[in-house]
Structure 1
């Protein structure tokens, strides 16, 4: 028998819609040791269909005592248990297979029958209930069922597992006050995906590590991290000046990407610098790509090279170290064919340096010196005939903007660019290309943004997210997704999915993640302290919720408005603030489950 006299709590006394009152005694309650939030069963021996025992699943809310009315009673009070119906279940005693149906059961009106009683849920049924999943797939353990901060007389040790398929390609939210275990649960999800895909490699992960918790070893994790626990499957990119382990710099070589450099500068420079008129004029310049030097006509190639030499000189003056590519380009071409005629060079060197010109530049350093002399001459003697080729001026308006910065004629020099120096390396690779390739082969890429401010976090998060989305979208269009997924983790989600962004820009990359990501095999895990600080439209699209302690009724009401199942546990979320204690509503489960998350253990790698 599944429901016996030993786990019986009492008879059904009253029923009003989904609310049920059970009469019980002190002895029964003491022996059961139940606590509010615990699952209970209402069952009758008569509720058997085709050999399967049916029962009603309820959640215990509270109890109250009242004086006994029976004249034969010695005056000891009786107790009323208040519970709320969650749905109905049926379980085959032989196979242990359980099915769950939400809502009020058809036989609910029979609960007042004399044979019907309320029971503590046996552990075997609890395990069967937790094994329910709409997605078959490899599972990983999240922790154990915990009904409250005070766990009662009998601690429940039933483990809670989650299918990897519930996470991959889905939207998962982590909410709760700081220091209460959100990051630990995120590590469990990352580890679960890594372990489940160790052979197939069909899921790549991208982690925006705002606080450096996943890239750097932590004493509370045994001086390990996700990165060090899986060194062969995790690639870390650092913004700091010194990468740890096998990490790489998150850097550009601005010399090699002139066509994109100014748009990047406009993102990375502080707002106060961007307000300077000379800086605004500079950022509006359209610089040619290096390929333009080879693909353009002879005169076009000369003009493009002149413009690039001005830009490279500006970078050099700001302290940016040139790489091998640009040095080879300069030494290979020289300045012999860029319109710097012998007459112009003689006039410029005599006027600016009071000496005859040296041989035509053949190295990067010589090129920058030549540019300095020619720029100063061009600005000071703008009407000199040597600065014209026929009726065309040698330097155009864009060139003059850079010349004024190089020569600091208006008090603004190249040093404003030093804000971006931390993002430059002469040995930088195409990190976007490298990241996409790693993710596509099932690796986890961690972007350590621990040293970055909010503006920098927004920038790198956006450009990398766009690259990932475009790659997955292209696979979808060409029918080459082939069951491959990308799972993206966002911390401080209020910076990425702000509440006031909903509906304003449906083409924003994050709005597209929320609405179209699943179609393209993209899942997101986002965490922050407050549900009301993120986009409401994202909340409505989210399939998995992990909710720690919240102190605001507004936040809890927001959750209940997008997932009505949280209505029944609002008080618990507001009261309980135990680290790692989560209310979990997952994609395949149709009820909120209280879980004490286990601690991330890097030794559980497979």
Structure 2
């Protein structure tokens, strides 16, 4: 090779793909189309390159990299192929007959013969070594303004093809699987800067190339493991699917992703809030898969854990219904709707459709009604056995007009009735409950008396003007408290909400959703351990938290602000995101629209066919391990080039053996995912901290 051509090869990214062509040559393209190519290969050539596994990458070119400067302009391209399986050659029938006849003539002493030609003459043996490979055309590498570019197809093929085929290995394979076109790279940098990064974040080394479950040759000692890298910005404001059966590496992939996003954010000094809806407690707790550690152990105070039961080291996921009355009532209503309850009645229907949203305090009349309704709700909780915070008091109505109406009516009776009136408008729950039952009883008595006298039926009046003080909404709440309807007939009343007590926490002082959002805004990792506590917490509390994250981010965006970067991870997503969900429901909206408001969505499941089709259709990043069901594989095969991997996905059960398609990559890359390594991450965290403080 002359000096000029050597310089061209060293600096030319296209020629560099054909490294050591004499060794890596494996055949010739003998038939070509826009979608597929047929390759003639030979057993000796396969042996020389450590085999040609199913789904492995091949490259085809007609130029000599050592003489690239002399190549025709028409030939200056490299076609990227993927091996799909064997292809028939015209002489295969004759070759098959020869093999059968040769085996029929074998003798007993030829069982394990040492002859390299296996008893055949050298010419016949050489002929029998040839075979065909059917390959998918993945695209074309070419030079564009000095930069290596990959087109996702081919623009021309020659019937008299001169394409030689090579197996990319080492650095050449690394260049192929990690290639990003210049315009995509520029867009990634732009998106990263919008997300707060100073430039393109350092790529994540997610794993190494792996073609098949059997990894003796192509990942053997003589073959360097080729790294697969992905861009952290691919995950921000994007959708990511992590699909596969249990115990095949889904959680390891999610942990690696969480750690990588955290590290990238720390290096650039930006805040990216991440929240994990942890169905099985895999992320909140240490287990043997994590070398005895967990995300929480690695990131310490940067990670906040929540549970729906009281547990040391965990914040309480539940809401204090006495303090957050609106949230408490909403949660009870959601639980009741999702439940099969034996309780019914008009008053209960009114209760389950009412609201405790606080009106504007400037509207004095409405705000007073809200205060009364809230106080009755708190008394209903008390009667239903919800534990109240220590020393909790209720503000009760003690207006002069109200007290006078009750007192006047009681004293007019024969004999006069005794009424216990609270000494203060702030009383204990027991006293407040008794006072509200007194109000209810006298309201009914006054209404009966007015009816008997032929007067307008008002009951207690809000003022001397004669407006009714107990409106229909308050009447239903009072009836539930007393467990009697307005006709004095007994019914379930507050017993209808007794079973929802586990969702309430008396030790909380603020709404858990607001607290979670504040942690996310601070760039923390929030893990909601949904493995403990009531099962219904998965759908009800999870949906409420996700919805408020979504609504807050969109509110900021609509106000012209740049929302905080957030990543939502959902484990066992088929339990939360139903296939039949309405598009207006929370999870489909997050998947479809969340990217606009800087919300990334990562969902893991073993049942892709059960996920809402709108979510699948809007997913940019895919990590797929083992799926054992043809229905699931068919659902997956509709996307990108995953159909090429259906056989492999069904049979290979190796932990962490994934097929990856990311936003930046135009094709699927079969990859062995790196293991989550807590000790290594802790060292990396220390190095980042030291660099930030000037120690490095």
**Structure 2 residue aligned with 1:131:** 178
**Cα gap change, 1:376/1:525 in structure 2, threshold over 3 Å: closer, same or farther?**
same
Q: Distance in 2 between the 1:434 and 1:61 partners?
A: 52
Equivalent runs, 1:316-395 vs 2, <5 Å: 316-323=382-389, 327=393, 330=395, 335=398, 337=400, 339-341=402-404, 344=407, 347=410, 357=420, 360-361=423-424, 363-364=427-428, 365-376=430-441, 378=443, 383=448, 388-389=460-461, 391-392=466-467, 394-395=469-470
Query: Displacement of 1:125 after TM fit?
Result: 0.3
**Structure 2 residue aligned with 1:524:** 601
Q: Distance in 2 between the 1:548 and 1:126 partners?
A: 22
1:404 aligns to 2:479 (yes or no) = yes
Q: Does the Cα contact within 8 Å between 2:41 and 2:133 map onto a contact in 1?
A: no
**Structure 1 residue aligned with 2:5:** none
1:510-562 deviation per Cα after TM superposition (whole angstroms, max 9, x unaligned): 33323322222121111211222122222222111111122233332332323
Give the number of the structure whose alpha-carbon radius of gyration is greater: 2
1:117 aligns to 2:131 (yes or no) = no
Q: Distance in 2 between the 1:215 and 1:120 partners?
A: 43
Give TM-score, length-normalised by structure 2.
Answer: 0.75
Q: Distance in 2 between the 1:161 and 1:204 partners?
A: 23
- Residue 235 of structure 1, aligned match among 288, 294, 304: 304
**Structure 1 residue aligned with 2:512:** 431
Q: Does the Cα contact within 8 Å between 2:40 and 2:133 map onto a contact in 1?
A: no
Q: Distance in 1 between the 2:301 and 2:57 partners?
A: 43
Gaps of 5+ in 2: 1-17, 100-119, 189-199, 451-457, 485-489, 686-696
Equivalent runs, 1:305-316 vs 2, <5 Å: 305-316=371-382
The secondary structure found in structure 1 opposite 2:532 is coil
Query: Displacement of 1:583 after TM fit?
Result: 0.9
- Residue 638 of structure 2, aligned match among 552, 556, 561: 561
1:73 aligns to 2:123 (yes or no) = yes
The secondary structure found in structure 1 opposite 2:301 is coil
Equivalent runs, 1:170-189 vs 2, <5 Å: 170-189=238-257
**Cα gap change, 1:531/1:44 in structure 2, threshold over 3 Å: closer, same or farther?**
same
1:548-590 deviation per Cα after TM superposition (whole angstroms, max 9, x unaligned): 1222333323323232x22322222222222211111111111
**Cα gap change, 1:459/1:39 in structure 2, threshold over 3 Å: closer, same or farther?**
same
**Structure 2 residue aligned with 1:57:** 80
Q: Distance in 1 between the 2:647 and 2:603 partners?
A: 24
**Structure 2 residue aligned with 1:226:** 295
1:350-389 deviation per Cα after TM superposition (whole angstroms, max 9, x unaligned): 9999867376355214323333444455557753689644
Q: Distance in 1 between the 2:281 and 2:70 partners?
A: 55
1:278-300 deviation per Cα after TM superposition (whole angstroms, max 9, x unaligned): 422322445473x77x6454x76
Q: Does the Cα contact within 8 Å between 1:351 and 1:377 map onto a contact in 2?
A: no
Q: Distance in 2 between the 1:343 and 1:557 partners?
A: 72
- Residue 195 of structure 1, aligned match among 238, 263, 266: 263
Larger strand proportion of the pair: 1
Query: Displacement of 1:194 after TM fit?
Result: 0.7
Q: Does the Cα contact within 8 Å between 1:318 and 1:417 map onto a contact in 2?
A: yes
Query: Displacement of 1:496 after TM fit?
Result: 4.0
Q: CA RMSD in A?
A: 3.6
- Residue 133 of structure 2, aligned match among 72, 82, 86: 82
Q: Does the Cα contact within 8 Å between 1:310 and 1:371 map onto a contact in 2?
A: yes
Q: Distance in 1 between the 2:469 and 2:239 partners?
A: 56
Q: Distance in 2 between the 1:288 and 1:193 partners?
A: 38
1:165-184 deviation per Cα after TM superposition (whole angstroms, max 9, x unaligned): 11111111112222211111
**Cα gap change, 1:237/1:51 in structure 2, threshold over 3 Å: closer, same or farther?**
farther
The secondary structure found in structure 1 opposite 2:22 is coil
Query: Displacement of 1:150 after TM fit?
Result: 0.6
Gaps of 5+ in 1: none
1:256 aligns to 2:323 (yes or no) = yes
Q: Distance in 1 between the 2:401 and 2:569 partners?
A: 49
Q: Does the Cα contact within 8 Å between 1:9 and 1:28 map onto a contact in 2?
A: yes
Decide which moves more: 264-273 or 367-376: 367-376
Query: Displacement of 1:481 after TM fit?
Result: 0.7
The secondary structure found in structure 2 opposite 1:177 is coil
Q: Does the Cα contact within 8 Å between 2:33 and 2:157 map onto a contact in 1?
A: no
The secondary structure found in structure 1 opposite 2:550 is helix
Q: Distance in 2 between the 1:320 and 1:62 partners?
A: 65
Q: Does the Cα contact within 8 Å between 2:502 and 2:534 map onto a contact in 1?
A: no
Query: Displacement of 1:345 after TM fit?
Result: 8.9
Query: Displacement of 1:187 after TM fit?
Result: 1.0
Q: Distance in 1 between the 2:287 and 2:416 partners?
A: 59
Q: Does the Cα contact within 8 Å between 2:319 and 2:327 map onto a contact in 1?
A: no
Give TM-score, length-normalised by structure 1.
Answer: 0.86
